[in-house]
Structure 1
Amino acid sequence: MFKRLTTDTYNWILIIGVVLFIFEIVFFFGGTIIPALFSGFFMYIGWKKFDQLWGKILFWISLVGLVFAVLNLLAVRFLIIAAIVLFILNYSKSKKETEHINPMFPDVDEETMDSIIEMKPLFDHKLFEDQETENTAYQWRDVNIHGAFGDRMIDLSNTVLPKDTAIISIRHIMGNIEIYVPYEVEVSIHHSSVFGRAYIFGNHHWKLMNKSLLYQTSNYGGTYPRVKIITSIFSGDIEVKRI
């Protein structure tokens, strides 16, 4: 359905959604935004104590509260209605138009074609769970993940990095990030945070308020192996140290 939409249609939907969001903040004093933030905060606390009964109760109650708070936002209700209307219009149009695709393939020798191997990612996208690398030796694959709540820990001492640049990209909402790097590996770090702290190779930043950090080892430009770390987090700490 969404493949049929033009970029202008996407832009108008997003613009109207943002306008409604700002309208709710200005004229309704945030509407259900503040309850949604409180629900998300208590849900995070409940998840951290999920092994206890009160943590489970707090998590599920906060989750229900968060869902209702988000659904009560004008912008979210508009997006839901817009999605339903677009689905109906596209379904009606698809019934009237039949798309015929006649693929054309060039004469290529199958022996000269590149073979593609599907590999399992090192991490999956998990919203409410801690993740860490294995304690035993593992095969390296570049990391590109996002999450909501929980901690992320990556230990590079149990793997062999490639001869080119290894990539670690983590986008997160709440939780801590720990990355352990062997001494012979060069490192480039670009970290952005709204709230939190950072400890990067002995450099402490006790208060990160909507700030970005950029560090790079002296020989990163022309020495291998090396790893490029790009992290962004709403609230949480990051620690990068040698091991």
Structure 2
Amino acid sequence: MFHRLSTDTLNWIMIVGVILFIVEIAFFHGGMIFSALFSALLIYIGWKNFFRLWGKCFFWIGVIGLIFSVLNMLAVRFLLIAGIILFIRDYSKSKKESERITPSISGQHESTTEALIQLEPLFDHHAFGDQKTAEHAYYWNDINIHGAFGDRVIDLSNTVLPDDTAVISIRHLVGNIEIYIPYEVEVSVHHSSIFGRAHILGEHHWHLMNQTLSYKTEGYDTTYPRVKIITTLLSGDIEVKRI
């Protein structure tokens, strides 16, 4: 459905959604936003203690509360209604428009499409749950993922890095990130965090509060293989160490 929409239409939908979000904060004392934040806190506490009975209770109560809080927000209601209207409009157009097949004559037009190879990512985008690289040898592809809750563990000792620069990009809300780097690999780390701790190749930061850290090894600019790590966390710890 969305591939039929123009960029301007999508932009207007997002702008109206943001305006309603601001109105809810300004004129309804936060509306359901504070309830959603409280539910997210319950989810985080429950996830960290999920092996206990009360942890499971906190987690599922938080999930249910978060769903109800989000669905009761003005901006979310608007987006749902807009999505339903767009779906009905798109479905109506698809019924009225008959599919047309235009024959093509070989040699009439030169193709400008390049040959491309689609690569399988190492990680899919998961909102909940932990993710880690395989414990056996695996083929390397650059990592570019985002998530909500859970831990991410990446072990580079089980793969062969390219002769140029490997890239790891992770945007995450709540959870820990662990990255294990072989000794012969040069490293650059750019980490942003609202709350948490960072342990990067022997450098320890025990209390991060809305901070950005940048480190690189001495031979990063001249030596290969090397890996560039870019991470963003709302709340959680990052550990980058040699293995």
TM-score range, shorter chain: 0.7 to 0.9
What are the ranges of 5 or more consecutive residues in structure 2 without an aligned counterpart?
Answer: 108-113
Aligned-partner SS, 2:13: helix
Can you list the C-alpha shifts for 1:56-107, whole angstroms capped at 9, x where unaligned? 2222221111000000110000100111111122222222223425375866
Q: 122-131 or 58-67: which moved more?
A: 122-131
Q: Is the 8 A contact 2:190 2:230 kept in 1?
A: yes
Correspondences of 1:137-152 after superposition (within 5 Å): 137-152=137-152
Q: Give the aligned residue type for 1:193.
A: S
Correspondences of 1:10-159 after superposition (within 5 Å): 10-102=10-102, 104=104, 116=117, 120-159=120-159
Aligned-partner SS, 1:140: coil
Instruction: Note closer, same or farther for the CA distance 1:223–1:31 as it changes in structure 2 (3 Å cut).
Output: same
Give the distance between the partners of 1:227 and 1:106, measured in 2 at CA: 46
Aligned residues: 238
Q: Is the 8 A contact 1:47 1:128 kept in 2?
A: no
Q: What is the Cα deviation at residue 128 of structure 1?
A: 2.0
Q: TM-score, normalised by structure 2?
A: 0.88
Q: What is the Cα deviation at residue 169 of structure 1?
A: 1.4
Give the equivalent residue in structure 2 for 1:160. Answer: 160
Q: TM-score, normalised by structure 1?
A: 0.88
Q: Give the aligned residue type for 1:56.
A: K
Q: Give the aligned residue type for 1:49.
A: N
Give the distance between the partners of 1:89 and 1:135, measured in 2 at CA: 48
Q: Give the aligned residue type for 1:186.
A: E
Q: Give the aligned residue type for 2:196.
A: G
What are the ranges of 5 or more consecutive residues in structure 1 without an aligned counterpart?
Answer: 108-112
Give the distance between the partners of 2:106 and 2:232, measured in 1 at CA: 44
Instruction: Note closer, same or farther for the CA distance 1:96–1:236 as it changes in structure 2 (3 Å cut).
Output: same
Give the equivalent residue in structure 2 for 1:197. Answer: 197
Instruction: Note closer, same or farther for the CA distance 1:16–1:139 as it changes in structure 2 (3 Å cut).
Output: same
Give the distance between the partners of 1:233 and 1:202, measured in 2 at CA: 20
Report whether the alignment pairs 1:236 with 2:233. Answer: no
Give the distance between the partners of 1:67 and 1:131, measured in 2 at CA: 24
Q: What is the Cα deviation at residue 51 of structure 1?
A: 2.9
Give the distance between the partners of 2:215 and 2:123, measured in 1 at CA: 25
Aligned-partner SS, 1:180: strand
Give the distance between the partners of 2:74 and 2:42, measured in 1 at CA: 23
Q: What is the Cα deviation at residue 150 of structure 1?
A: 1.2
Give the distance between the partners of 1:133 and 1:154, measured in 2 at CA: 5
Q: What is the Cα deviation at residue 115 of structure 1?
A: 7.8
Give the distance between the partners of 1:185 and 1:228, measured in 2 at CA: 10
Aligned-partner SS, 2:134: coil
Q: Give the aligned residue type for 1:29.
A: H
Instruction: Note closer, same or farther for the CA distance 1:102–1:199 as it changes in structure 2 (3 Å cut).
Output: farther
Q: What is the Cα deviation at residue 122 of structure 1?
A: 2.4
Instruction: Note closer, same or farther for the CA distance 1:89–1:41 as it changes in structure 2 (3 Å cut).
Output: same
Give the distance between the partners of 2:172 and 2:52, measured in 1 at CA: 25
Q: Is the 8 A contact 2:42 2:58 kept in 1?
A: yes
Q: Which 4+ stretches in 1 moved above 6 angstroms?
A: none
Give the equivalent residue in structure 1 for 2:111. Answer: none
Q: Give the aligned residue type for 2:73.
A: L
Report whether the alignment pairs 1:169 with 2:206. Answer: no
Instruction: Note closer, same or farther for the CA distance 1:183–1:62 as it changes in structure 2 (3 Å cut).
Output: same
